[in-house]
A and B are shown apart, each in its own frame.
Chain A
Amino acid sequence: MTSKTELAVDKFLEQTDSEVASFFEACVHCGMCAEACQFHLSTGDPKYTPIYKLRPMERAYKREKAPFSRLKKMLGLAPKPVTEKELIEWAPLVYDGCNMCKRCTLVCPMGIDIAGTIRKMRAGYAAAGLAPEEL
């Protein structure tokens, strides 16, 4: 039986086309997106840093699909697999912590469309049945 995590990760990888891959490959962890995010600005909580909200999807890409991912796996340098616990922990950030305003996309020096990628990440949550019940 396919687990919820596998369903989510499969969908994350399906949603990671060359556009999303280029976002994950270009991010330099500069943190400028936090200075544009209304959730971070109003709470001051670093967990609302937009690029941080994408971490499980980024990890899935870097472990399974990125160039050199096989080599890094062989050498034990690949990121850890995504877990269901982690996905559940991230759900409030992905759903309640982003209103898709795209201010983070405007401020990003790399032009990373974080909000657009959050939408694709939500597809993974929906496929795994991990989206909020109200939706």
Chain B
Amino acid sequence: MSFLNLVEGPLFTFAAAVFVLGALWRLIGIIRIGRAKDISPPKASAAAGFIKGNLRHFFPRGIFAKRTMVHIIGGYGFHLGLFMLVFFGVYHIDFLNERILGFSWPALPRWAFLLTSAVAFSGLITLWVRRISDPVMQLISDKDDHIGSWLTFLVMLSGCFALEQAHDSLRGVHMLLVDIWLIYFPFSRLMHSFTFFLSRGQSGMTYGRKGKVR
């Protein structure tokens, strides 16, 4: 079995299984703790608060926007860029179509893919530089923050090298890093990709019940 076959075959299957089962285990583990009972009479719907809380926190508050602009631009640039690269890159769509889903959808044209890559890289680098240079970020950051950032960066970088499809080994290195990323994901802070909706939703429920989600 070649290196490429290994990382796209059995190792990918193993990594994907760890990713799915680990993420589910962690999400279910959080939910099954259960919410503390609120004995106060509700003034509005907690369920509506869950949805409002999730939507409201997508948008920065005006009074803080200026002070947090670097993070907002870096964060949105990176996350939206990465989402577009993962789900609208032609080779990713082909891989998902052939290996998992059995259907495809329109891909980004090459120029848009390259532009999106630049935005995503700029965002990720901005966030990481802020992490190592800002005194607040230095105080609150831990190993997991750096490992997650670097692993994601290396996955993206190796993806760029593999873009031309010139050598199987470059594609293999990219897939190996993807496999490692998938295995690391459920045990790390990368899980915020899924836990954010619980966090926003739970505080939305609390304040929604009090009629205070605006």
Chain A positions near chain B (C-beta within 8 angstroms): 15-19, 21-23, 25-32, 34-36, 40, 46-47, 49, 51-52, 65-68, 72, 103, 105-113, 116
Identify A29's interface contact among B25, B67, B189, CB under 8 A. B189
A35 contacts across to B, CB distance below 8 A = 64, 67-68
Query: Given that A18-B34, A110-B192 are contacting pairs, would A66 and B199 also be in contact in the complex, using a CB cutoff of 8 Å?
Result: no
| Contact status A22-B75, CB under 8 Å | no
| Contact status A17-B75, CB under 8 Å | no
Chain B positions near chain A (C-beta within 8 angstroms): 22, 25-26, 28-36, 53-54, 56-57, 60-61, 64, 67-68, 71, 75, 130-131, 134-142, 145, 186-187, 189, 191-192, 195-196, 198-207
B35 contacts across to A, CB distance below 8 A = 17-19
| Contact status A29-B141, CB under 8 Å | yes
The B interface, classified by DSSP as helix, strand, loop or mixed, is helix
What are 24 A-B residue pairs whose CB atoms fall within 8 Å in the complex? A18-B31, A18-B34, A19-B203, A21-B30, A22-B199, A26-B198, A27-B192, A28-B145, A29-B131, A30-B71, A31-B134, A31-B137, A32-B64, A67-B26, A67-B29, A68-B22, A72-B187, A106-B64, A110-B192, A110-B195, A110-B199, A111-B53, A111-B199, A112-B203
In the bound complex, what is the Cα–Cα distance between A16 and B91 (angstroms)?
43
* Interchain pairs with CB closer than 8 A, number: 138
Chain A min CB distance to B105 (Å): 28
In the bound complex, what is the Cα–Cα distance between A32 and B32 (angstroms)?
29
Of B31, B75, B198, which is in contact with the most chain A CB atoms at under 10 Å from its CB? B198
Chain A min CB distance to B82 (Å): 14
Query: Given that A22-B198, A25-B195 are contacting pairs, would A31 and B203 also be in contact in the complex, using a CB cutoff of 8 Å?
Result: no
Chain B min CB distance to A87 (Å): 18
Q: Which B residue's beta carbon lies closest to that of A51?
A: B140
| Contact status A23-B136, CB under 8 Å | no
| Contact status A107-B68, CB under 8 Å | yes
Identify A107's interface contact among B64, B136, B203, CB under 8 A. B64
